């Protein structure tokens, strides 16, 4: 029971993180677009909307457990992209706090990789998976 509770809590934290990020984007889409533009990306408003919708999808995957391992891997790639694009080494000289933000993304990645390998918990998920991903064997 403790294992199921810990898995559920971890999933809720992952979901909360991505849904909260999406909520911040929706509540200040213009500011998000400006932040994206300041990093040098084209079409910042479009990318802000894509990011918000993507984060909702990740949040739902973590809440339901549907495509959980796949979502955790994709979220890990996304988190590393964000680390380098918005907190990378070029920013450390002018603001040393950026290194902390950068490093925090690696900690998040570690949790996402662990989640991808171990799955959502057998009793806590819809169990939907992509066909080419082998089903886990019950222990």
Task: Report domain extents, the chain.
Answer: 2-118
Q: Is 17 helix (H, G, I), strand (E, B) or coil?
A: helix
Residue-level pLDDT at 22:
98
Question: What does each of the 139 residues of the chain score in pLDDT, given as a tens digit?
Answer: 788 788 888 999 999 999 999 999 999 999 999 999 999 999 999 999 999 999 999 999 999 888 899 999 999 999 999 999 999 998 888 888 989 999 999 999 999 999 999 888 776 655 555 554 555 444 4
Report pLDDT for 1.
73
Q: State how far the Cα of 75 lies from the Cα of 14, in Å rounded to an integer.
A: 10
Q: Which residue in this structure is represented by tokens 């939907």? A: 128
Please report the pLDDT score of residue 129 as a whole number.
55
> Please, are residues 57 and 74 in contact by the beta-carbon 8 Å criterion?
no
- Rounded CA-CA distance 102/69 in Å is 24
Q: Could you tell me the pTM of the whole model?
A: 0.83
How many beta carbons lie within 10 A of that of residue 106, not counting itself? 11
Count of beta carbons in the 10 Å neighbourhood of residue 80? 15
36, 44 Cβ separation under 8 angstroms: yes
């Amino acid at each position: 029971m403790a294992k199921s509770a810990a898995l559920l809590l971890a999933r809720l934290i992952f979901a909360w993180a991505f849904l909260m990020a999406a909520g911040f984007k929706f509540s200040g889409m213009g500011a998000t677009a400006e932040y994206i533009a300041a990093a040098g990306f084209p079409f910042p408003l479009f990318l802000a909307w894509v990011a918000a919708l993507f984060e909702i999808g990740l949040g739902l995957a973590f809440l339901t457990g549907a495509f959980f391992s796949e979502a955790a891997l994709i979220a890990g790639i996304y988190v590393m992209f964000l680390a380098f694009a918005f907190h990378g080494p070029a920013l450390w000289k002018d603001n040393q706090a950026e290194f902390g933000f950068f490093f925090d993304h690696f900690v998040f990645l570690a949790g996402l990789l662990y989640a991808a390998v171990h799955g959502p918990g057998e009793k806590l998920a819809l169990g939907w998976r992509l066909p080419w991903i082998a089903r886990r064997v019950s222990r």
